[in-house]
Structure formats: structure tokens, C-alpha cells
Structure 1
Amino acid sequence: MQDIKDTIKEVVYAVMPITIVVVILQFTIIWLPFDVFLQFLVGVLFVTIGLILFLLGVHIGLLPVGEMIGSALPKTKKLWVILFFGFLLGFVVTVAEPDVRVLALQVDQVSGGDISRNILVYSVALGVGIFVLLAMLRIAFNIKITYLLAGGYSAVFLLASFTPAGFIPISFDAGGVTTGPMTVPFILALGVGVASVLRGKNSPTDSFGLVALASIGPILAVLILGVIYG
């Protein structure tokens, strides 16, 4: 019950500032039509209820399950199993990410359908899956994250020089939307579970950095998509 109360407070405190700002603007500067303003208030109510239910689902389901899966995979003592399911989970959780679908829809509309939303979603998901796989390798072999980040962003800037200019901002937006409310909790929990078994309790920081790595994958994927389309 306390978790529910804390979640409600967290969501109300998060939504209230933007609501207050819009209300102040409505009665001072913008003066939207009443029906539009009413739609905004109804939308705020729906968003608040939706976020409360979503965050409760994350805390009750996604986080525990992600950590349990992460703890169970290393016990198989097969590296390929860890890598395969790391890739698969990274892929499917990105396909389910609402932020990715919003970006894909906007790009599809702006491009007039030239860049299909499904192609963009699956390209981004593929990029995340590959880099979650690399993150599992990093945990398994204790590779310094600075090497992977430096190599990843070097590849990003190299590819950017060959990609049509229109794809570059989309690629970095793709990297941002993958750090959404669905992907981040699951990937972090997965990393915590894997690191707790492979690296032990003496290396708590091994489970972090997965999101930073995972956000490089979509950038590279969209840049490669740009090279193909270009």
C-alpha cells in the first residue's frame, strides 16, 4: 500500500508543474479554445492514471523479473545463452518501447512514408539488442566501458560523414528514445542480475553503463539505414 501511495505522489509531483504552467499560459497569453483546453485537462487526467499504473507495473513486474532473468542466465554456465537472450530481450523490449513508436510515427509522417515506421522500429531494436549483447560481454570479461563507448562513438562520427544529413538528427533522437520507461528499467535490472552472479557483490558498478551502451546501437542502426537509403 505504501508503494502505491509513493507512486501516486511521484506521478502527481511530476505532472503538476507542466499542468500549472499551461493553465497559467491559458489565462494570460495563449487563450486556447475552451474545447482544446478541456481536452488538455482530460489528457492530463489520463496521463496521470496511465503513469501510475505503468510505474506500478514496472515495480511489481518488470524490475523483479528482469533481475531474476539476469541472475538465472549465468547459472547455465554457457556464454552463448547469456549473449543470445541478452540480445533477444534488448530487441523485444525496444519494440515494446512507446517512445520508439512515437518517433517512428513522426518520421513516417514527415518522410511521407519513405521511411517506414516498422523499418525504423526494428532497426532501432536491432541496434539495442546488439549493444546489450556487447554489454553482457563487457560484464563477462570485465572490459572497461570507456573502450566500448570510445569505439562506439568513433563509429558514430565516422558513419555520420557518409550518411545523408537528414538521418543524423533522427539517429541521435533514436538513441534518446530508447532510454524510455520500458527499456531502461528492464535493461538495468537485467544487468544487475547478470553482474551479481558473474562479477559478484564486489563489482556493483559492472551492472551500470548498459543504458549508455544501448543508446549507441540505435544511433548506428539509423546511420546505417541512412547510408542504405542514401
Structure 2
Amino acid sequence: MTNLFDQVKEVSFAILPMALLVIVLQYTIIGLPTEVFVHFLIGVLFVGFGLFLFLVGVHIGLLPIGELIGSTLPKIKKTWFIIGVGFFLGLVVTIAEPDVRVLAFQVDEVSKGAISNQLLVYTVALGVAIFVALAMIKMIYNISFVHLLVGGYGLIFLLVPFVPPHYLPISFDAGGVTTGPMTVPFILALGVGVASVLRGKDSSTSDGFGFVGLSSIGPVLAVMILGVVFG
């Protein structure tokens, strides 16, 4: 019961400031039509209730199963299998990410179908999957996190001059939307779980985190390459 109350507080602190600001602006500056404003209030209620259910689901389902999968994989002692599972989980979790869907819909609408919804979703998902697999390799072979970050962002800056201008902002937005409510909890729990077995509980903080940072490089590179090829 305490956990449910904590989720209610978390959702309230996330939504109420924005809702109160819009209400104040409505009666001072904006003056939207009543119908639109009522739709906004109903939407706030739906979003609040949906976010509450989502957070409850994350805490009772996604986080425990992600950490459990992460702690079980190293016991199989098959490197290719651990990397493959990391790739597959990165792919499917990103496809299910709501933020990625929103970005893809907006880009499809603005570009009038030139950059299709599904193409962008699967490109971003592939980028995340490759870098989750790379994060697994980093964990298994104890590769420096700094080297991977410098190498990843170095590739990004090398590609910038060759990317069409309209693909460049989309690529960086793609990196941002993969840090959404679906991808982050699962990938973080997966990383902590793997690190707790390979490196022990004491080092799971330093080795288990950074998965999301690496994963956000993948979609930036993937959309940039998409722009170079099709732009």
C-alpha cells in the first residue's frame, strides 16, 4: 500500500505543475475555447491514471524481471548467447517505447511520408539493440566505458558533415526518445543484473550503469546513416 501511495505522489509531482501552469495561462493569457480546455483537463486525468498504472507495472514487473534476466544470463556461460539476448531485448523494448512512436509519428507527418513511421522506429530500435549488445561485450570483456563513449561520439561528429540537414536534428531527437519510460527501467535493471553476477554486488554500480548512455548513441548513429544512405 505504501508503494502505491508513493506512485501516486510521484505522478502528482510530475503532472500537477504543468497542469496548474496551463490552467493559470488559460485564465490570464491564452483563453482557449472551453471545449479544448475541457479536453485538456480530461487528458490530464487519463495521463495521470495511465502513468500511475505504468509506474506500478514497472516496479512490480519490468524492474524485477530485467534484473533477474541480467543475473541469469552470465550463469549460462555462453558469450554469444548473452550478447544475442542483449541485442534482442534492446530491439523489442525500443519498438515498444512510446516516446519512439511519438517521434516517428511526428516525423512521418511533417515529412509527408518521406521518412516513414515504421522505417524510423526500426532504425532507432536497431541502433539501440547494437549498442546494448556492445554494452554486454563491454561488461564481459571489461572494456573501458570511456573508450566506448569517446569512440561512439567521435563517430557521430565524423558523420555530421555528410548527413543531410533535415536528418541531423531527427537523429539527436532519436537519441533522446530512447531514454523513455519503457527502455530505461528495463535496460538499467538488465545492466545491474549482469554486473551483479560478473563483477559482484560491490561493483554493480560502476559496471551496471552506463547502459542507457551507450544505448542513446546507437539511434543517433543509425538515423545519421539512414540519412547518408537515403537522404
Partners of 1:160 and 1:94 in 2: CA distance: 24
User: 1:229 aligns to what?
Assistant: 230
Which aligned pairs between 1:62-81 and structure 2 lie closer than 5 A?
62-81=62-81
Deviation at 1:183, TM superposition (A): 0.0
Partners of 2:10 and 2:96 in 1: CA distance: 24
Moved more, 125-134 or 155-164: 155-164
Partners of 2:123 and 2:182 in 1: CA distance: 17
Which aligned pairs between 1:5-84 and structure 2 lie closer than 5 A?
5-84=5-84
Look up the SS of the partner of 1:161 in the other structure.
Answer: helix
User: 1:160 aligns to what?
Assistant: 160
| TM-score (norm: length of structure 1) | 0.99
Partners of 1:161 and 1:200 in 2: CA distance: 43
Partners of 2:174 and 2:130 in 1: CA distance: 15
| TM-score (norm: length of structure 2) | 0.98
Figure out how many residues of one structure are paired with residues of the other and give that number: 230
User: Structure 1: which 4+ aligned runs deviate by more than 2 Å?
Assistant: none
Percent identity over paired residues: 65
User: 2:220 aligns to what?
Assistant: 219
Deviation at 1:201, TM superposition (A): 1.9
Partners of 2:211 and 2:21 in 1: CA distance: 35
Deviation at 1:202, TM superposition (A): 3.0
Deviation at 1:203, TM superposition (A): 1.3
Does the 8 A contact of 1:140 with 1:199 survive in 2?
no
Look up the SS of the partner of 2:201 in the other structure.
Answer: coil
Partners of 1:23 and 1:168 in 2: CA distance: 35
User: 1:149 aligns to what?
Assistant: 149
Residues 194-215 of structure 1: CA distance to partner in whole angstroms, max 9, x if unpaired? 0011111231210000000000
Residues 149-202 of structure 1: CA distance to partner in whole angstroms, max 9, x if unpaired? 000001011111111011000000000000000000000000011001111123
Deviation at 1:143, TM superposition (A): 1.2
Q: Does 1:114 align with 2:114?
A: yes
Residues 38-67 of structure 1: CA distance to partner in whole angstroms, max 9, x if unpaired? 000000000000000000000010000000
Partners of 1:120 and 1:13 in 2: CA distance: 32
Look up the SS of the partner of 1:203 in the other structure.
Answer: helix
Partners of 1:119 and 1:68 in 2: CA distance: 32
The unaligned stretches of length 5 or more in structure 2 are none
Does the 8 A contact of 1:71 with 1:193 survive in 2?
yes
The unaligned stretches of length 5 or more in structure 1 are none
User: 1:98 aligns to what?
Assistant: 98
